[in-house]
């Protein structure tokens, strides 16, 4: 029987449960997550690579981090020694906004997983020896269609598109990696990193609910209208986990996100602070 695991856990929970730690560091500026892992990681943690384990690569219209085929994801997890019966706790050094991708993928396919609140801390005792677990059996399961959104869903006015990117990228002040600057017309900005305290912990539930309410998400089933987007479908997963953590229901991931949308020059672009 699959254990019931909350989307977010703290260090006390971690100490009381047997689980597999997953280090999911990745950087938009091109720094190496693997190098960061090798320089020091939590004891027992395996390294999960966003680019190779949690994404595939195809035409630019699919975005920078399309979801891999279910069989490829299963093979990647099995090769890392993550099995069907393992509870996975993912972390990074940015409050979980990157590790959320792994946690969301696992939870969406019925595998128990949680995000470690606060991630790596300055006083953590780290080790440098890479962890290699024996291969495991990880069952391939299709991506559930009710957890995913397509381009048509992202432009449909009946949905509520939440853009998890930092405000300057949402406004179009800068765009370091994608074809055009700006945002999907109608999308509202709810930056993933602004859902964290200055120390990198997730805000209290009451504060999260207030932030979601300001962009139109209120009530236990409100998440059903949410299409979560970001640059390439990574930090958007953090929004989805926090929706669930705050008791606001389950939203959908637009995996291509802005990287896919902005690659189609026929699609309109909005700029500035307003949805447009």
Q: Which residues are catalytic?
A: 230
Q: How far apart are CA 219 and CA 211, in angstroms?
A: 13
**Contact present, 67 and 92 (Cβ < 8 Å):** no
**Contact present, 257 and 230 (Cβ < 8 Å):** yes
Pairing between β-strand 88-91 and β-strand 113-116 as defined by DSSP bridges:
parallel
Q: Which residues 6+ apart lie within 8 Å of 194 measured at CB?
A: 211
**Contact present, 227 and 122 (Cβ < 8 Å):** no
Query: Does residue 241 sit in helix, strand or coil?
Result: helix
Give the up-direction half-sphere exposure of residue 112: CA atoms within 13 A in the CB hemisphere: 17
Q: Residue 23: in which H helix or E strand, if any? A: strand 20-23
Query: Does residue 251 sit in helix, strand or coil?
Result: coil
Residue 40 is given by DSSP the state -
How far, in Å, are 74, 231, 270 from residue 100 at the CA level?
Answer: 17, 14, 27
Q: How far apart are CA 94 and CA 226, in angstroms?
A: 24
**Contact present, 247 and 218 (Cβ < 8 Å):** no
Pull the structure tokens for residue 248.
Answer: 């606001």
**Contact present, 163 and 184 (Cβ < 8 Å):** yes
């Amino acid at each position: 029987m699959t254990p019931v695991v909350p989307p977010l856990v703290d260090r006390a929970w971690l100490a009381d449960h047997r689980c597999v730690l997953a280090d999911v560091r990745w950087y938009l500026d091109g720094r190496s997550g693997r190098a960061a892992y090798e320089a020091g990681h939590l004891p027992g943690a395996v390294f999960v690579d966003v680019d190779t384990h949690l994404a595939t690569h195809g035409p630019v219209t699919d975005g920078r981090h399309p979801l891999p085929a279910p069989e490829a994801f299963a093979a990647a997890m099995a090769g890392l020694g993550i099995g069907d019966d393992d509870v996975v706790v993912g972390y990074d050094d940015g409050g979980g906004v990157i590790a959320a991708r792994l946690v969301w993928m696992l939870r969406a396919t019925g595998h128990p997983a949680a995000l470690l609140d606060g991630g790596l801390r300055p006083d953590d005792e780290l080790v440098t020896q890479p962890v290699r677990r024996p291969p495991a059996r990880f069952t391939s399961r299709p991506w559930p269609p009710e957890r995913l959104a397509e381009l048509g869903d992202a432009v449909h006015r009946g949905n509520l598109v939440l853009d998890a990117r930092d405000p300057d990228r949402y406004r179009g002040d800068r765009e370091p990696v994608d074809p055009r600057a700006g945002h999907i017309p109608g999308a509202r900005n709810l930056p993933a990193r602004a859902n964290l305290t200055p120390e990198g912990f997730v805000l209290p539930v009451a504060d999260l609910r207030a932030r979601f309410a300001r962009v139109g998400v209120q009530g236990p089933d409100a998440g059903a209208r949410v299409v979560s987007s970001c640059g390439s479908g990574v930090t958007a997963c953090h929004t989805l986990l926090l929706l669930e953590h705050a008791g606001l229901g389950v939203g959908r991931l637009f995996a291509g996100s802005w990287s896919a949308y902005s690659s189609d020059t026929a699609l309109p672009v909005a700029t500035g602070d307003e949805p447009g």
